[in-house]
Amino acid sequence: MACPVSSNTSLAGARRSVAVNASFLKALLAVGSLVLIAVLVVSFGVISRTIDVARSQRLERENRALVAGLARGRRMLDAFCYAGGFACHALLAGAASALLLDSSADALAQARRNLSLNGVEERATLREGNAFDGLRELQARGERFSLVVLDPPPFTRRKDAVEAAARGYKEINLRALRLLEPGGVLATFSCSHHVAPALFEDICRQAAGDAAVPTRLLSTLTQSRDHPVLLNVPETRYLTGLLLEVV
């Protein structure tokens, strides 16, 4: 059951209200209480999206707006798309088309609802499958994109598994860079807390070298400002990212 959320207060106040209410509903679901409202429909500026309060992931409002600002006229690949947030923003901003990849049928169903909610579903293609395999298949077919987003779930939550996670991040970034045409842009993210920003940048540097793709760093990225990092709680820095351009 979807419930639209509206507010006559400030946007910041609405975001706080939605965050609090979503957290409350998650807690109720966790203890098995009956909840009648399972999906929220929330508007942020020009975009509307559904939020599954039982399974919702982080909201990257600022990063999505940044990517959307580069999207006009571009062919986009949104890998690990989850609910399609990046693709929705990009298509609303004028992206020519978007291919959304995710291994979860439930996530793609939510992405389809979000695309339809924003009237951009006709320019989107959704494909279910392992994103690692999907990136390899796209490269094998000679596909090219001018905008790629890699926003996977955590590859590790343990410090002793960072090396394995690093191999995964290198693989997907290498494939993504090879899929980009000259002048193409890659927005790549890690939400593995133990993969520090310096390590993630080094992983992407190695990926660019192995891919033999000359790459320029446009910007370093992190979580939105309404998710502050506390210096004495390093776990609060949960997102690191890079905006890269093929030159």
Rg (the chain; Cα; Å): 18
The DSSP output letter for 230 is B
Annotated catalytic residues are 191
Say how far apart CA 99 and CA 148 lie, in whole Å: 10
Alpha-carbon dihedral angle through residues 167, 219, 126, 107, given to the nearest 10 degrees: 70
Say how far apart CA 148 and CA 185 lie, in whole Å: 6
Structure tokens at 12: 């910041």
Say how far apart CA 23 and CA 168 lie, in whole Å: 31
The DSSP output letter for 3 is E
Say how far apart CA 60 and CA 207 lie, in whole Å: 24
Q: Which of 195, 201, 198, 227 is nearest to 60 (CA)?
A: 227
For residue 150, the cross-strand partners are 79, 188
Say how far apart CA 184 and CA 215 lie, in whole Å: 10
